[in-house]
């Protein structure tokens, strides 16, 4: 299993904060946002992770993550996405990285309280996504369930109400997703929509949809960014990170302090 974190885009909803740095490098309480999706993947035992970044922010990501996991066995690669073409494009951009393996992709601004290690480690084939109940489903890809809570339809930002359940930014797919993504035609807004990948597997009876039980936050607005930081502090989520990540952050901080003292 390979891992991908999608951290490109310009994050205009967070201007002027993102005029000088990437959204995923903004703080969620005591650490940068990017560490939260990293934690999901590392907890699941994924050692090879690709981070897709925007060209103007690539240096900032390298400064933080370029060598932070050198002693841990976790290997990070970086790929510059010059122009965002939709979430599904990540599987095309990451084709050489994925190789012949399966892949778990997580969005760099999604904060999950749940631990998805079991679902990721037990994955064999097909596709697996998750659903969470929200008050404003019209802003996202919506999943419709039947009476037995089996997914029957997935629609991107429907104009009419279909369901209160949306699909957050965590997707597990087998290796076929690369070729499927290549065949997806751009939508009216010119993007390769990830909902088309979901539906390709759903139509073949190969997509399973799990339910998110804990808190989920899309930290893409001022309010949700603040909410995420407060929730992490109150629930002490920052204390539940994988030891590999916590140790790497501590050692990185100590290294920075030593360098600062030498410069002084």
139 pLDDT tier (thresholds 50, 70, 90) = confident
Could you give the C-alpha distances from 185 to 193, 207, 261, in angstroms and in order? 8, 20, 54
Q: pLDDT category, 3, cuts 50, 70, 90?
A: very high
Residue in the structure block whose two tokens are 């302090």: 257
pLDDT digit string (tens) for 193-223?
A: 999 999 999 999 999 999 999 999 999 999 9
More confident residue, 190 or 226: 226
Query: Residue 59: which pLDDT band, with cuts at 50, 70 and 90?
Result: very high
Report if pTM > 0.85.
yes
Instruction: Over range 31-59, report the average pLDDT.
Output: 97
Over range 118-147, report the average pLDDT. Answer: 95
Q: Does position 190 have pLDDT exceeding 90, yes or no?
A: no
**The pLDDT value given to residue 61:** 96
Whether residue 12 is predicted with pLDDT greater than 90 in this model: the reply is: no
Which position has the token pair 């951009």? Answer: 93
Q: What is the mean pLDDT of residues 104-118?
A: 97
Q: What is the mean pLDDT of the chain?
A: 95
Is residue 83 predicted with pLDDT exceeding 90? Answer: no
Q: Which run of H or E residues covers position 77?
A: strand 75-80
Domains of the chain, CATH where assigned: 2-123+170-186+216-263 (3.90.550.10)
| Type and span of the H or E element at 245 | helix 243-263
Across 155-170, average pLDDT: 94
- Cβ contact 51:26 at 8 Å: no
**pLDDT of the residue at 189:** 84
User: From CA 106, how far away is CA 103, in angstroms rounded?
Assistant: 10
């Amino acid at each position: 299993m390979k891992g991908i974190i999608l951290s490109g885009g310009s994050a205009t909803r967070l201007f002027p904060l993102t005029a000088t740095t990437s959204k995923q490098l903004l703080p969620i309480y005591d650490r940068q946002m990017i560490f939260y999706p990293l934690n999901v993947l590392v907890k699941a035992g994924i050692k090879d992770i690709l981070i897709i970044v925007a060209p103007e922010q690539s240096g900032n990501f390298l400064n933080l993550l370029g060598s932070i996991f050198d002693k841990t066995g976790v290997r990070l690669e970086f790929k510059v996405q010059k122009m965002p073409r939709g979430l599904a494009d990540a599987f095309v951009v990451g084709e050489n990285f994925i190789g012949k393996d399966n892949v778990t992709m997580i969005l760099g601004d999604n904060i999950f309280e749940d631990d998805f290690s079991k679902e990721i480690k037990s994955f064999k084939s097909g596709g697996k996504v998750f659903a969470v109940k929200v008050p404003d489903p019209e802003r996202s890809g919506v999943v419709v369930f039947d009476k037995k809570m089996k997914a029957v339809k997935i629609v991107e930002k429907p104009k009419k109400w279909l369901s209160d359940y949306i699909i957050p930014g965590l997707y597990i797919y087998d290796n076929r997703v690369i070729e499927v993504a290549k065949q997806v035609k751009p939508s009216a807004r010119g993007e390769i929509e990830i909902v088309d990948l979901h539906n390709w597997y759903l139509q073949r009876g190969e997509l399973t949809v799990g339910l998110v039980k804990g808190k989920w936050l899309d930290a893409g607005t001022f309010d949700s960014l603040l909410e995420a930081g407060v929730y992490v502090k109150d629930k002490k989520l920052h204390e539940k990170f994988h030891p590999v990540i916590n140790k790497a952050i501590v050692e990185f901080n100590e290294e920075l302090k030593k360098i600062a003292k030498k410069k002084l």
